[in-house]
């Protein structure tokens, strides 16, 4: 998978590091994302010890959205240096996949998040994480 870097690492700052996997689902003219506390996000999250990227995606899709993955295609890895709204420095190593899901929707295992379907015209305005915006922008350029 190709890798790009966003942002600039400031030498004198301590960064919280997190490695994640996210899936980009575009089905029936809608992007499938989640909402949690008014924050919209692609479906995915942190890689647990011993998990592969695909295992992480399958777990996160069922936990957050109640969706079963049928297939995945690697898109891009983004190494992103950014600062949260609270001033915390974060280094996110995020792996993005184009994901196909089945038509069946289950109740998500986590009740904090809900599945939302948005159009390609509104997807970029909903997301707030810089690396997710970049990955979706790259995907939009492909379709």
Q: Any idea where the domains of the chain sit in the sequence?
A: 3-142
pLDDT of residue 84: 87
Superfamily of 3-142 according to CATH: Nucleoside Triphosphate Pyrophosphohydrolase (3.90.79.10)
Residue ranges of the alpha helices (H) in 82-122? none
pLDDT of residue 42: 98
pLDDT of residue 85: 85
Average pLDDT estimate for 28-33: 96
Residue ranges of the alpha helices (H) in the chain? 53-65, 123-126, 130-142
Query: Residue 122, SS3?
Result: coil
Tokens of 4: 């790009």
What gap in Å lies between CA 138 and CA 51, rounded to an integer?
Answer: 26
User: Is 93 within 8 Å of 17 (Cβ atoms)?
Assistant: yes
> 49 falls in which pLDDT band (50, 70, 90)?
very high
How many of the other CB atoms lie within 10 Å of CB of 13?
11
Write the pLDDT tens digit of every residue in 111-122.
888 899 999 999
Tokens of 40: 């919209």
> 140 falls in which pLDDT band (50, 70, 90)?
very high
pLDDT of residue 101: 98
> For the chain, what percent of residues have pLDDT higher than 90?
87
């Amino acid at each position: 998978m190709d890798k790009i870097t966003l942002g600039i690492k400031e030498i004198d700052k301590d960064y919280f590091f997190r490695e994640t996997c996210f899936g980009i689902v575009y089905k029936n003219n809608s992007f499938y994302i989640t909402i949690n506390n008014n924050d919209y996000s692609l479906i995915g999250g942190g890689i647990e010890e011993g998990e592969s990227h695909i295992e992480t995606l399958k777990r996160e899709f069922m936990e957050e959205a109640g969706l079963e993955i049928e297939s995945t295609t690697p898109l891009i890895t983004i190494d992103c240096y950014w600062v949260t709204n609270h001033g915390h420095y974060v280094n996110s190593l995020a792996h993005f996949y184009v994901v196909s899901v089945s038509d069946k929707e289950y109740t998500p295992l986590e009740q904090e998040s809900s599945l939302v379907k948005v159009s390609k015209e509104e997807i970029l305005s909903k997301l707030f994480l810089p690396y997710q915006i970049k990955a979706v922008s790259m995907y939009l350029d492909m379709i």
